[in-house]
Structure 1
């Protein structure tokens, strides 16, 4: 460390801004090879990144707790215990993630806020302390933040929370109003309904989960309604108001397509209206790093920014906001730095996704709507889980709800996409994704040998019903 000036300077081969999946994995890999690495994270509560602290891990832990009956505790105690256990889990993983880098002699973890002051230079501040980090290569992995649109009262209300804040709330909401109809909105709505809350979901568009086929959304909405979630579509938000009346401490005024206003009351309002890349305040202009109209850092297929020695990984680069995509970002950047440089984001095929409602909704590839829009000749199979007589697993676990859908090219037998709304869909979809990446045909998957009783053997039935 250079301390000849008034501000200490730390020289490094690699500086990573943000402790998320892609950045931390790259930092560990290069430090393990002997490169001098500096990991910069602005909060000691975010070691390990969004996924383990305020994203995938805590939400799915609470989903599991909500799904698991606990007759020994009343609903309030059960919820508080689930939140406490979730916090303990994230603290454990946070410590393990810190130790993953701290144990490496070539790695240094710096806790503070980083701002670019030049193409190769970052100024890091923490309270009254300042440190300059200079590095040959810099990786930005600062993630994304919840969006709070300029809706009157939304930012000012004492009862509006983001998903991060709701995860830490130990007092169970009796009435929860969810704004939005995407992944986060649906997962939290389903979770809190399972914990016994009266949940209303307000979606501006004509349906929730707008990326999915209408028949799939209809089934998902039916399942959510069966668990107590009231879904209101076509709801344009007008304002949010705190109130002291008997109806509840907060009210959300919304307008339907005909212009008629309605009011929904709650104890807590969850704003799940999307996430935007976290680039504000990073000083990217000082480094000559370009962003797009959404604020995402512009990258090429090798994740290089407008400065070739600076890479952007994870949510901050505007790509799919999944931790496993960030992990693949790491592979792309690692190949650029120590490999042959051939790997790129263009290599990605059949990347699956899951909405962790109960049962989960998972998909890989195209929807039927997308495939028809592309002009492909199609065969389609849609099977209700309860009608799959040869797939008893769902009944064994007492959840035969949902459906499965396969979309196949009628001429080539190529699997174009599969959607599963069913028990264990989040696991079974990975088998389909692997088959698609290996270019297996629908016939080969149909005739595969799978364990029994399992949800994977539903692929025999599903692909056997293509029409």
Structure 2
């Protein structure tokens, strides 16, 4: 069967691509390996369900009640995705694993048998999958979970071990601790949140430990086994720990294993992502790759912006977009309180040769902190002395995940720090912290 375009992977990027092109008269094929994953990771196992769990934990909901709400919202979102794809007559949704036969031919293993599709234009958006580190017994033991499987468990583990102190590990540590789990986190790196501002990382570590989370930095797990219906973890120092559940949060990698890329001329990067140019074109003409599969920043909003780049190429719009247009990329960790960052840290800015102003302001210095009775956290900004432009900001505290977008807006539009400092703000709100955060008069 021939199509104008084939989208492999039905995530948020493919959603936008397919509906837009279908509205232009394109004959579109969309392939997703599982019916339960229509719409991609974000609505099913990522952004939305995990943030529901985080929200309900902060609002002191029972764990089982929160999981039930997570599932109900997921069902509604999933149905919306199905309805969206079924409405246009020129979109066909195929369900089953997809693999390449050649550069422009794809086989889909559906329940009714194999189907072969052909198109001169293919977009690969199969996302990412968890990394399982080479630990003795890890893949064979019971009660081992990924971020996908743990959040569907209706029974809260009384004790939870977490392998990895990255975004996922920190978020799940905060969430499950808030519900009452006894959480222990193992980080192999010698420094906690080593890529972040040290003073911000110290504040995060302090707050997590205050919640009762045990954090072991510079600790490698060497063996995992089961004893008496529990998971027994042995570290490189010979110490053992027992948990009801063990979460593997050691990072994610591009999901390419089932695509049979060896049948194509598609080239990969060193980290096993699909290699693209600035227009997201692969080494095969007419084949594009978007989102996590590229092995770069793995966020839903990146995938959506990638889709916009591809659309501008396919529709030959006047404002053709590329990765070179991409500006500051913010990210957040939905811990309690949340963390967010955009741009450079002080160390990174200095290493790049900037002469900088920096300022750090505790959240407790704001009136808002007294109003909401939450003084936790620290905000830090980095500004170029020569131009007055904001180079970066790291925020840990109430509304950090929202406020970071204001700073990104200023950075993307080359607004000097004084705009955020002097702007009139409502009262009492957390945005008022910008007046002191971007005050370098001392």
The TM-score normalised by the length of structure 2 is: 0.97
Instruction: Report if aligned partners of 2:94, 2:110 keep a CA contact under 8 Å in 1.
Output: no
Distance 2:437 2:143 in 1: 45
Distance 1:134 1:154 in 2: 40
Unaligned residue ranges in structure 2 (runs of 5+): none
Partner of 2:384: 409
Which of 349, 362, 370 in structure 2 is aligned with 1:384?
A: 362
Distance 2:42 2:214 in 1: 28
Distance 2:140 2:441 in 1: 53
Unaligned residue ranges in structure 1 (runs of 5+): 1-9, 71-77
Distance 2:230 2:440 in 1: 52
Distance 2:193 2:46 in 1: 19
Distance 1:198 1:264 in 2: 12
2:93 corresponds to 1:109: yes
2:155 corresponds to 1:182: no
Partner of 1:3: none
The one-character-per-residue Cα deviations of 1:343-365 (angstroms, maximum 9, x if unpaired) are 10111111110011011100110
Which of 274, 289, 298 in structure 2 is aligned with 1:297?
A: 274
Distance 1:19 1:333 in 2: 15
Distance 1:203 1:95 in 2: 38
2:379 corresponds to 1:395: no
Instruction: Report if aligned partners of 2:53, 2:175 keep a CA contact under 8 Å in 1.
Output: yes
Partner of 1:221: 205
Which of 259, 270, 294 in structure 2 is aligned with 1:282?
A: 259
Which of 204, 208, 233 in structure 2 is aligned with 1:252?
A: 233
Distance 1:324 1:143 in 2: 13
Partner of 2:54: 63
Give the 3-state SS of the residue equivalent to 1:311 in structure 2: strand
Give the 3-state SS of the residue equivalent to 2:120 in structure 1: strand
Partner of 2:403: 428
Partner of 1:36: 27
Partner of 1:437: 412
2:262 corresponds to 1:271: no
Structure 1 residue 211 displacement after superposition: 1.7
Structure 1 residue 136 displacement after superposition: 2.2
Matching of residues 299-338 of structure 1 within 5 Å: 299-338=276-315
Instruction: Report if aligned partners of 1:207, 1:217 keep a CA contact under 8 Å in 2.
Output: no
Partner of 1:451: 426
Give the 3-state SS of the residue equivalent to 1:358 in structure 2: coil
Structural RMSD (CA):
1.2
Distance 2:411 2:360 in 1: 19
The one-character-per-residue Cα deviations of 1:80-103 (angstroms, maximum 9, x if unpaired) are 111111011111111101211211
**Please, which moves more after superposition, 267-276 or 448-457?**
448-457
Distance 2:422 2:409 in 1: 16
**Please, which moves more after superposition, 187-196 or 200-209?**
200-209
The one-character-per-residue Cα deviations of 1:130-181 (angstroms, maximum 9, x if unpaired) are 1111112100000000001121011011011111010111110100001100
Distance 2:56 2:377 in 1: 21
The 1:466/1:219 distance shift into structure 2, 3 A limit, reads farther
**Please, which moves more after superposition, 235-244 or 204-213?**
204-213
The 1:415/1:314 distance shift into structure 2, 3 A limit, reads same
Distance 1:346 1:311 in 2: 16
Distance 1:117 1:322 in 2: 29
Give the 3-state SS of the residue equivalent to 2:119 in structure 1: strand
Instruction: Report if aligned partners of 2:145, 2:248 keep a CA contact under 8 Å in 1.
Output: yes
Distance 1:218 1:160 in 2: 29
The one-character-per-residue Cα deviations of 1:88-121 (angstroms, maximum 9, x if unpaired) are 1111111101211211121111111111111111
Instruction: Report if aligned partners of 1:379, 1:466 keep a CA contact under 8 Å in 2.
Output: no
Which of 312, 325, 334 in structure 2 is aligned with 1:347?
A: 325
Distance 1:458 1:127 in 2: 56
Structure 1 residue 214 displacement after superposition: 1.2
The one-character-per-residue Cα deviations of 1:242-271 (angstroms, maximum 9, x if unpaired) are 111xxx71111112xxxx321121100000
Structure 1 residue 335 displacement after superposition: 0.6
**Please, which moves more after superposition, 205-214 or 50-59?**
205-214
**Please, which moves more after superposition, 302-311 or 206-215?**
206-215
Structure 1 residue 465 displacement after superposition: 4.2
Instruction: Report if aligned partners of 2:357, 2:440 keep a CA contact under 8 Å in 1.
Output: no
Partner of 1:4: none
Partner of 1:53: 44
Structure 1 residue 318 displacement after superposition: 1.2
Q: Number of aligned pairs?
A: 441
The TM-score normalised by the length of structure 1 is: 0.92
Which of 386, 389, 394 in structure 2 is aligned with 1:419?
A: 394
Instruction: Report if aligned partners of 2:191, 2:217 keep a CA contact under 8 Å in 1.
Output: yes
